[in-house]
Amino acid sequence: MTVKILALVGSLRAGSHNRQLAEAAAKHAPAGVEVEIFEGLGDVPFYNEDIDTDGSAPAAATALRTAAEQADALLLLSPEYNGTMSAVLNNAIDWLSRPFGAGALSGKPTAVIGTAFGQYGGVWAQDEARKSAGVAGASIVEDVKLSIPGSMTRFAELHPAEDAEVVEQVAEVVGKLATNTDA
């Protein structure tokens, strides 16, 4: 049986290093584990309870919820914007937290990793993403962490999927996350 992990990337930038980190996770996932990168977070409108009604939620939000429901676990990849996670990642968590107590995140094993330009690799953003997802009902896998500092220089000419140290770390993260599922 294959463990399905849905990766949500908190950066919409085409050359995002967090996107590349998600690509590395997908490329180097251990045998029996599939990492799917969700496309379309930029199309999900800001959460608004007035538009989140039975049968008429926006298509992009419904697609996000469906993908999360079908996944065995979630891997959130967060850049650090002004000391916290990006609005796009927080918005995804907001949509996945509803309906309250029964959202797609409810009880779902979730890990947060990322890379950022600063010397700590975005740990504040990752801590905030763990907190938000946990409050939203996710089952945060606390021992699965990876913060890669200096993204702008480290990945200037080398994709994370080609960096041996990063490949090893990401494969370990994905493997540990997969062992926390019921799949």
Report the amino acid identity of residue 122: G
What residues pair up with 110 in beta bridges, in sequence order? 74, 140
Number of structural domains in the chain: 1
- pLDDT score for 30: 96
Report the amino acid identity of residue 74: L
Domain range for residue 46? 3-179
Q: What is the pLDDT of residues 85-127, one digit of tens each?
A: 999 999 999 999 998 888 999 999 999 999 999 888 899 999 9
**Two tokens at 61?**
């939000």
- pLDDT score for 118: 87
- pLDDT score for 100: 84
Please say if the pLDDT value at position 131 is more than 80: yes
Please say if the pLDDT value at position 183 is more than 80: no
Give this prediction's pTM. 0.96
Q: What is the mean pLDDT of the chain?
A: 95
- pLDDT score for 31: 96
Rg (C-alpha) for the chain, rounded Å, is 15
The CATH number for 97's domain is: 3.40.50.360
Q: What is the pLDDT of residues 132-168, one digit of tens each?
A: 999 999 999 999 999 999 999 999 999 999 999 999 9
Report the amino acid identity of residue 14: A
Nearest in space to 64 (alpha carbons), one of 30, 88, 33, 83: 88
Block residue for tokens 């009880």: 107
- pLDDT score for 56: 87
